Structure formats: structure tokens, C-alpha cells
Amino acid sequence: MTATLRHAVILCWIAGYVDAIGYFRFGHVFTANMTGNTVLLAASLVRMDDIYQTYAVTITSFIVGVACAIFLKSRGHSPIIFLVLNAILLTCLWLFEAGSFIALCSLAFSMGMQAASIQSFSGIRLPTVVVTSTLVQLTEEVLTRAFAIPANGTQGRPARLRHMASAWLAYGVGAASAVGAGDWAMSLLLPPLLYIVVAIDLFRQRAAHLS
């Protein structure tokens, strides 16, 4: 497994893991899947359920996370800083035993940061907090290979199918891992460690490139 594919797999695993924590432990609210939250927000507004406020705040937190990442990127900051910030944030949630509302907003903010930080792996565009577009690209790549459909743009790259399939599977495995975890606060210890692993890996790559 190449370094970039390993990074994609780890980040997708984290997103699936955190998304499942939000959904199963915080009243069926997603922390990474804003498509699902948007649908549930609209439905709750029509049904006049008070939970619409939770969906609205979660989506807002995600957007703020994206905005912060975009702002930092515009200032020339490396993706490493986003990974470290997310690791610190999730560690604080565990250390201070944050309540459900703060935890939910923080997780959504973290996923927004991740979504806007690293979006390309070896030149292959791959979102790490959603799998809908990944499934579209995976299906397209399979059909391109199976029926010799002429490649368009980046289609047909040997690594493309591997990246898309690995990302989709990692997201699902991450979600399954969260469901099997114990206390939700303790379960937040693993994502920060994985963020640091990727950050260190990226730092080593940058240092090797500069040397």
C-alpha cells in the first residue's frame, strides 16, 4: 500500500468511525454525512420536530470547520496543521468529558476541517468524509475496465480503482468499529492517534523532499 493510499484509508476510516458515533450515540445525527443531515433537517422542519435545531447546528458546525480549513489553506498552511488540530480537538473531548451537544458540534467541525484539508491523493480526487461520489467513481472505473469504455480524464489509472474501493471499504469498516466500541468518550481516543500518524508521515515526506 502506497503512503497516499494509506492516508486516504486512515482518513476515510476516521470519518466512518466518527459518523457512526454521532448517529448511534447522539440521537441519529450524522457528524460527517451532511447529505443525511440535510434530508433529516428538512423532514424535521415539515414534521415540526424540535430536533431540527440539532441538525441545523451540526450542519453549521461542519460549514465552520470547512471555512476554517479554507482560511488556513489560503494562508499557506500545510494539511499537517489540520490533522494536528483535529487530534487536539478530539483529545480535549475525551479529557474534559464534553457533553453530547458540544461533542456533536465538535465532531462535525472536525469533519468539516478534514473534508477541506486533503482532497487529492496521488493526483486522484477523493473526498474522505463522504462515500456517495466515491461509489460513483468506483462504479465508473469498474465499468470502464470491464467493458473497455474509453477513459475520460483521470479514468483508467491503475491506482484509481484501488483508491476508490479502499476508501469505500475503510469508511464502512470505520463505522462498524465505532458500533462495536464501548464508552463513546473512550472511543474518541483512536482517531486522534491516527491523525497524528498521518501528520507524522506527511511531515517525514516533506522533510525528505526538502533534503
Among 12-21, 96-105, 164-173, the minimum mean pLDDT is found in: 96-105
Q: Is the pLDDT of residue 19 over 50?
A: yes
Angle between helices 190-210 and 3-25 (to 10 degrees): 160
Per-residue pLDDT, 119: 83
Is residue 112 over pLDDT 60? Answer: yes
Q: How many CB atoms sit inside 10 A of residue 73's CB?
A: 15
Q: Percent of the chain at pLDDT above 90?
A: 52
* The pLDDT of residue 183: 64
Asked if pLDDT for residue 185 goes beyond 70, the answer is no
User: Taking residues 28-32, what's their average pLDDT?
Assistant: 93
pLDDT over 60 at 11, yes or no: yes
Least confident of 31-40, 91-100, 153-162, 172-181: 153-162
Could you give all domains of the chain from N- to C-terminal order, each with its CATH number?
3-205 (1.20.1250)
C-alpha 117: how far from its chain's center? 10
CA–CA separation, 32 and 145 (whole Å): 31
Tens digits of residue pLDDT in 52-93: 999 999 999 999 999 999 999 999 888 899 999 999 999 998
- Is 80 exceeded by the pLDDT of residue 97? no
Taking every pair of Cα atoms in the chain, the longest distance, rounded to a whole number of angstroms, is: 60
Q: What whole-number distance in Å separates Cα of residue 194 and Cα of residue 7?
A: 10
The DSSP output letter for 200 is H
Collapsing DSSP states into helix, strand and coil, what is residue 96?
coil
Helix (H) or strand (E) holding 9: helix 3-25
> What is the model's pLDDT at position 205?
85
* Sign, Cα dihedral of 181, 28, 39, 70: negative
Task: Say if pTM beats, i.e. exceeds, 0.75.
Answer: yes
